[in-house]
Homo-oligomer: A and B are copies of this chain.
Amino acid sequence: MSDVNAAPAKVHVSLGARSYDILIGPGLLQRTGAEIAARLPGVRAAIVTDSNVAADHLAPLQESLAAAGVESAAITVAPGERSKSFATLEEVVSGILDARLERGDIVIPLGGGVVGDLAGFASGIVRRGMRFVQVPTSLLAQVDSSVGGKTGINTVHGKNLVGVFHQPQLVIADTAVLDTLSPREFRAGYAEVAKYGLIDRPDFFAWLEKNWQAVFAGGPERVEAIAQSCQAKADVVARDELEKGDRALLNLGHTFGHALEAATGYDSARLVHGEGVAIGMALAHRFSARLNLASVDDAERVEAHLAAVGLPTRLSHVPGGLPGAEQLLTYIAQDKKVSRGALTFILTRGVGQSFVAKDVPASEVLSFLEGALSQ
């Protein structure tokens, strides 16, 4: 699997007319042009990337496209969550229109989840929906944000409150580009990998407990972990494309996590998405234990694994301090996974046994948060 010329792993996302493949393996960036030309003959492309990713990976992608005869323009935005804004969306949309792309042409988000969400959204609204091919370059984007068609930006009201469901034509995850990702960002993405085990794949979680070092080091375990994660996500998405039911399970750890991101002003120096999710998953397991749904042992097992890979697991791990429990609850209530005023959480009966809990009383959350803030 570490042979650059080996056939990539492939995961299929089954969504009827909107189905697509995810290709996973080292060195795929160099084959992106050929894969696109074979599947979407004659298209032109607008690459959207951020300046961090552009430094190492834009030129190889451009060369690969050119070699396959795919004309491309490039649009580079500032790195970081703040680019998921109306202002940057407008810039990206303008860039795509400046390139005079037509409806059948493609946008290629080359980057992490920020670029994927932003440029995926842009591709969903330019000419009321262009095609796009995700080339995720962060671990989080490869195992999560590039798969499933959720796109969007943030507003002052909260994260991802504005966007569209828009499925890509193809996802190309080059596992070798992750070598330029900072260890902190790799760990953050790993939180989402662990999440799939915690949702409903206890064997995968146990495999990760044994093999996480190899996943971090690269090689076949990395491809395996990413393919397993994509398969897990693809399964959920196929069951519930528009997040009306089951898909909510993917939000394990995210209700708390999003509140923490909002509370830290989306400042990545303090907290990145996956770190928020890691703390959120630890909290979800502890909250479930407190509600007598799961055992304290399971909560401790989860916390131990996340801590072993170097992820934060407690509110006190967030540098710079947090607002009080009341304010955190306000952030939670504004999060979009709120249905008609009742609080919806993903809770668990143990490792790999998560479920959607509706009507969780706000008072329970509040007193749990008060306790958690003092730990």
- Residues of A in contact with B (beta carbons under 8 Å apart): 42, 86, 89-90, 93-94, 97-98, 100, 102-104, 124-129, 150, 152, 155-158, 161-165, 242-243, 334, 336, 338-340
Contact = CB atoms under 8 A, between A and B. Distances in A.
Given A97-B155, A102-B340, A340-B104, A162 B126 contact: yes
12 contacts: A86-B89, A97-B158, A102-B340, A125-B152, A126-B161, A126-B162, A127-B161, A127-B162, A128-B150, A128-B152, A128-B165, A128-B243
B126 A338 contact: no
A334 B103 CA distance: 12
Given A155-B93, A155-B94, A157-B97, A163 B125 contact: yes
A86 B90 contact: yes
Nearest to A104: B340
A365 to B, nearest CB: 18
Contacts of A128: 150, 152, 163-165, 243
| Stoichiometry, copies per complex | 2
B162 A93 contact: yes
Nearest to A165: B128
Contact of A164 (B129, B157, B338): B129
Contacts of A156: 94
Contacts of A97: 155, 157-158, 161
Given A128-B152, A155-B94, A103 B163 contact: no
A124 B162 CA distance: 9
A336 B155 contact: no
A166 to B, nearest CB: 9
Contacts of A164: 124-125, 128-129, 164
A336 B127 contact: yes
Contacts of A124: 164
B336 A165 contact: no
Contacts of A161: 97, 126-127
Contacts of A157: 94, 97-98
A316 to B, nearest CB: 31
